[in-house]
Amino acid sequence: MHELSICGSIAEIVTRRASGRPVDTIHIRVGQLRQVVPDTLVYCWNIASADTPLDGSRLELEEIPARIKCRSCDAVSDLGEHPIMLCDTCDGADVEVITGQEFIVTALELAEV
């Protein structure tokens, strides 16, 4: 369950950026290829933030689908639920991932004091 260690890193980033201000919501973009289980990440956040200044804050996740672009025919394809790195148009294997590898804290919503 690497989500717990990820939550520790998120807490460090958020604590540094919040500069002592109370945090209500942390917005995060998570790419499909990051091998993070969103529900587990949210569950681990509750554990990692307990008894800290971030206790009571919540994660708001935006899941980013995996997409590839074919270098041969320039077609863009969604990888779907079971990623196969082949172009949907020409069946070529010379592809590059254009979305789906993201993992970024995009915004903090500060709590009303």
Question: 7 lies in which domain range?
Answer: 3-110
Stated pTM of the model: 0.85
How far apart are alpha carbons 1 and 82 in whole angstroms? 21
- CATH for 10: 3.30.2320.80
Count of structural domains, the chain: 1
pLDDT of residue 1: 58
Residue type, 10: I
Q: Is the dihedral of CA 91, 93, 99, 101 positive or negative?
A: positive
Segments of the chain with pLDDT less than 70: 1
pLDDT of residue 83: 79
> For residue 85, what are its two tokens?
């790195």
pLDDT of residue 90: 95
